[in-house]
Amino acid sequence: MNILTKKASLNLPLAFLNRSFSCTSALEIKQWRVSKGLPVNRNAEGILTDGPDYTFLDGRPTPLLHKQKLRMEKQQDYASRIVQLSSELDFAKQRYQNIQKAKEEERQRILNNRLKAKGAALK
């Protein structure tokens, strides 16, 4: 008789039939790596991941690995996005200043065009 039928014959609750395993040590290792400023996945970056698989003896550069190319493209995308957003921010700041300056000039023009005293009061 197998284990499940033995358990069922003993009329134990189903909670005892489903045994779950805990991965607390794995979670603790991840938390430790994050607390030390390391990546969660130790294979994500490092000398073995980032370095070339081989080198030429005559000193020629080795071609980039696939993940290196992807990482470089991602960094270039980030850089171009940062430049784009900062230029948009500069444009927005300049536009806001121009709008405020135009409002102030309009206000000053209205004040200058008010009715002025005439005749003896002008002298």
66-88 confidence digits (pLDDT tens) = 888 998 999 999 999 999 999 99
**Residue 100's pLDDT band (cuts 50, 70, 90):** very high
Does some domain include residue 117?
no
pTM of the predicted protein model: 0.48
Domain count, the chain: 1
Does some domain include residue 53?
yes
Does some domain include residue 63?
yes
CA 120 to chain centre: 71
Does some domain include residue 120?
no
Q: What is the 3-state secondary structure (H, E, C) of the chain?
A: CCHHHHHHHCCCCHHHCCCCCCCHHHHHHHHHHHHCCCCCCCCCCCHHHHCCCCCCCCCCCCCCCHHHHHHHHHHHHHHHHHHHHHHHHHHHHHHHHHHHHHHHHHHHHHHHCCCCCCHHHCC
Question: Mind listing the pLDDT tens digit for each residue in 42-69?
Answer: 777 777 777 777 888 998 988 888 888 9
Domain region containing 47: 24-111
Does some domain include residue 81?
yes
